[in-house]
Structure 1
Amino acid sequence: MANNKYGVLLLGGYRTHQENYALMFAADPRCQLIACSDELDAPADRVELNMQLADELNLPYITDLDQALALTDVNIVSLCVEMERRGIIGKKCAQAGKHLYLDKPLALTVTDAELIVQAVQSSGVTSQMFSNVYCPWAQLAKKAIESEEIGQLRAMHCDVVFAKGHPGTAPVGRKRQEQSSRDKYTFIQAKPEMFDIGVYAVSIINWLSNKAVKTVSGVTANYFFEEHSECNIEDFGVLMMSMEDDITATITGGRMGWMSHPKGGIQRLYLVGT
């Protein structure tokens, strides 16, 4: 570590969550921002946004990611590139011996996620995906389980639904068929909300139970927004999971419109014990 600080390389610029993560790393006395970078063949519009963030933070922009990863003063990579590129780039960063701080969701496909997981395990680096596990309500739930205040955990339900967007525009009667995989995540006007927001609830459930998921069933739909329907992606969904020790968990995830909640949206957790 240079100057006894963790050097942080930023991948991803404006119009990502990197705008916030970079400021948090910069404010941490243990860290020092080193540079911004991306792949040589990164999309031109993304490179422009990357360079804008680099200019705002007064950081150098390194056009070749391989050169950036070769810097000895880089210890951590904050990874916020588009979902479609995250698996390959995450693998490359881990193989270069850099610790990973990953925006959520982890990756677009199971294959991409496994690329990251396997590279992290084989390289011995540390990785962390952004989640809500340190929120006060999640910490209280963890305490209730570990102290056996609720007895033995039998079931959980978690709602994470954002209050964003202008609802009431979803076409009535139009139904879409959910697919087991998707090739595209990044749209200008919308995101696949169960995929994007449901990860918060899933990560909470996994962290609280510390049990393996055995089966998953789910339903997605388009209740609120025309733009999601036009992109053939969901704005809401539910999942049911059966887990080890006969624990059942359910979640909802999505967005319901900016007037649906007085703050940022519903974040709610139910625990059922013996």
Structure 2
Amino acid sequence: MRCQGSCMGAPDVLRVVVFSGCGHGVIAQTLAVHPRFEVVAVADDDAIPDQMHQRNKTMARSLGVPYIRDVAAAIQRFQPHVACVSPETARNADLSVRAADAGLHIIQDKPMAASVEECDRIIAAVEQAEVRFSLWNRNTFPTIRHARRLLTAGTIGQPRAIHVDFYFAKDAGVLIDSGESEDVPADWRGHGELTVEGIYPLAYIRYLLGVEVQRVFARTTSHFFQKHADRGLEDLATVTLELERGIVGSLCIGRIGRASHPNLGELKLHILGSGGAIVVSEPRPEVAVYARGLKPADYRHRRIGVRYEHRLLDDFEHAIDTGGAAMLDARDGRAIVATVSAALESGRTGQTVEVPAA
């Protein structure tokens, strides 16, 4: 099936093939329980390493669908409307371009691609095929959406500055100088936190303010985890942003370890305007639970009633039905990859770096 133009009159149920289950599994799992989508298969290329085939098989079993070791054959057999693209980052562009060339709408794992040039490949394919593209993000959290409504209403006047703390309380192997050994696969190709998680705070800024980042200055370091330090990857970073309309911004990001915080992490935004300010604690509403029997890895503060993943699919569904843009589309994703690339260059050189325009 090739979808033309706005895809008005899209079917009541949109069939989905998962193009690789090696990335963010929550996307496929959420698609499987959304009433508009039906996951019919997991597919990947036959030539990938055995451990990736095993991950794909595990995902297929969890979804109750077959695993096909041939992407083209899966498209031919199942005639999907949507591709859920979630491989390792290096293959995002290749699989998304192939999905677009087949006329499939795309919901893709983050980060969008390994480089701005690969983002441009995706944009060209998506726009040529006139399909919808949605990049996974957290903009549908109730707190973020409410902050956008306040800004749109002019509650704090004209935005002047924004700061985002985005510290994920998750582990990534043994700690620096812990003396512990760690078995890291020889073919492990990890990325630093700016590459892996930088999309989330930068997507907040883009969604809330609607402006482009023009230049950045960054400091990056390996502060917590040995695996990052051994490979020169940052697990902690600060970025200063110069944005359009004279707005200034800053971002602190890191993977700070499970034991460092009672919930998912310190995820907070401060927005200053000409007539006031907004402070947003992203994960709320939440309930704090302190009781006997909790395990050390159990989160004490737990989000309730958020369902941001389902709202993101609602937005994707709306884009398919109307032919409009998704909340975070391919051009948005490119802008974020360009900002992250500039920040990494700044961290290496110690210089302010211009963010290349589209």
- TM-score interval (norm. to shorter): 0.7 to 0.9
Could you say which residue in structure 2 is the equivalent of 1:245?
245
Aligned to 2:175: 169
Note closer, same or farther for the CA distance 1:152–1:92 as it changes in structure 2 (3 Å cut). same
Q: Is the 8 A contact 1:198 1:251 kept in 2?
A: no
Q: Are positions 1:144 and 2:150 aligned together?
A: yes
| Aligned residue in 2 for 1:114 | 120
Q: Which residue of 1 is the match for residue 188 of structure 2?
A: 187
Alignment correspondent of 2:12:
4
- Alignment-mate amino acid for residue 17 of structure 1: H
Q: Which residue of 2 aligns with 1:177?
A: none
- CA-atom RMSD in angstroms: 2.2
Between the aligned partners of 2:131 and 2:269, the Cα distance in structure 1 is: 32
User: In 2, are the aligned partners of 1:155 and 1:247 still within 8 Å (CA)?
Assistant: yes
Q: For 1:41, which of 37, 43, 47 is the aligned residue? A: 47
Letter aligned with residue 38 of structure 1? D
Cα distance, 1:166 vs structure 2 = 7.3
**Is 1:87 matched up with 2:93?**
yes
CA drift of 1:202 comes to 0.6
Q: How many corresponding residue pairs?
A: 258
Q: Following the alignment from structure 1 to structure 2, what is the Cα–Cα distance between the partners of residues 39 and 125?
A: 23
Q: Which runs of 4+ in 1 moved over 6 A?
A: none
Tell me the CA shift for residue 231 of structure 1.
Answer: 2.3
**Distance in 2 of aligned mates of 1:3 and 1:269:** 39
Q: Shift of the alpha carbon at 1:91?
A: 1.0
| Correspondent of 2:165 among 151, 159, 164 | 159
AA aligned opposite 1:84: A
Partner of 2:215: 215
- Alpha-carbon distance between aligned partners in 1 of 2:129 and 2:252, rounded to the nearest angstrom: 35
Identify if the C-alpha distance between structure 1 residues 38 and 257 changes in structure 2 by more than 3 Å, giving closer, same or farther: same
Mean alpha-carbon deviation: is it higher for 69-78 or for 123-132?
69-78
Provide closer, same or farther for how the CA distance between residues 55 and 168 of structure 1 changes in structure 2, counting only shifts above 3 A: closer
1:98 aligned onto 2:99: no
- The separation in 1 between residues aligned to 2:14 and 2:174, in whole angstroms, is 47
- Bigger mean CA deviation after superposition, 67-76 or 27-36: 67-76
Cα distance in structure 1, aligned partners of 2:62 and 2:74: 19
User: What percent identity do the matched residue pairs reach?
Assistant: 28
Ranked by relative contact order (alpha carbons within 8 Å, sequence separation 6 or more), the top structure is: 2
Distance (Å, rounded) in 2 between the aligned partners of 1:36 and 1:220: 37
Q: What TM-score comes out, normalization by structure 1 length?
A: 0.87
1:131-153: per-residue Cα shift (whole Å, max 9, x none)? 11111221122112101001001
Asked if structure 2 preserves the Cα contact closer than 8 Å seen for 1:201 and 1:252, the reply is no
Say which SS state the counterpart of residue 4 (structure 1) adopts.
Answer: coil
Q: How does 1:58-73 map to 2 (within 5 A)?
A: 58-71=64-77, 73=79
Which ranges in structure 2 are unaligned for 5 or more consecutive residues?
2-9, 179-186, 275-358
Amino acid corresponding to residue 142 of structure 1 in structure 2:
R
Question: 2:134 corresponds to which residue?
Answer: 128
Post-superposition offset of 1:171: 5.2
